[in-house]
Amino acid sequence: MPWVVIWPVLVVGALVGAFFLGRDLWRRGLRLAHAASAASEAVGRLSDRQEELTSAARARHPVPPVAFSRDLDDVRAGLAAARDVHDRRIDERHARYRLVMRRWLDVWR
């Protein structure tokens, strides 16, 4: 007699659990589809702006031509200019770090 009660309860419990699991999987699938759609739109926008972004990147970090046929003084001048830009960026970064550290010291004193 107890098996007549236990088995239907187990089957109904399994069906209820399967329903909630299926509903959760369905909702996750919908969220994944929405995220994939948003990602494809972002890729489309980036591909539309690819030339603009490429030219901006080249303007920000120009790659010098190969120096085989260039005069040695021109190469040294270009190298000195690149070092100056690099040193300026490092100095700016260190100034920002010093400012942040000063703020943290004011907070923790």
- Is the pTM higher than 0.95? The answer reads no
Distant-in-sequence, close-in-space partners of 64: CB < 8 Å, separation ≥ 6: 78
Cα–Cα distance measured from residue 90 to residue 13, given in angstroms and rounded to the nearest whole number? 65
pLDDT (mean) for 58-83: 83
Instruction: Provide the pLDDT for residue 83.
Output: 96
Amino acid at 37: S
Q: How far apart are the first and last CA of the chain?
A: 75
pLDDT in tens, 91-107: 999 999 999 999 998 88
Res. 48: pLDDT tops 70: yes
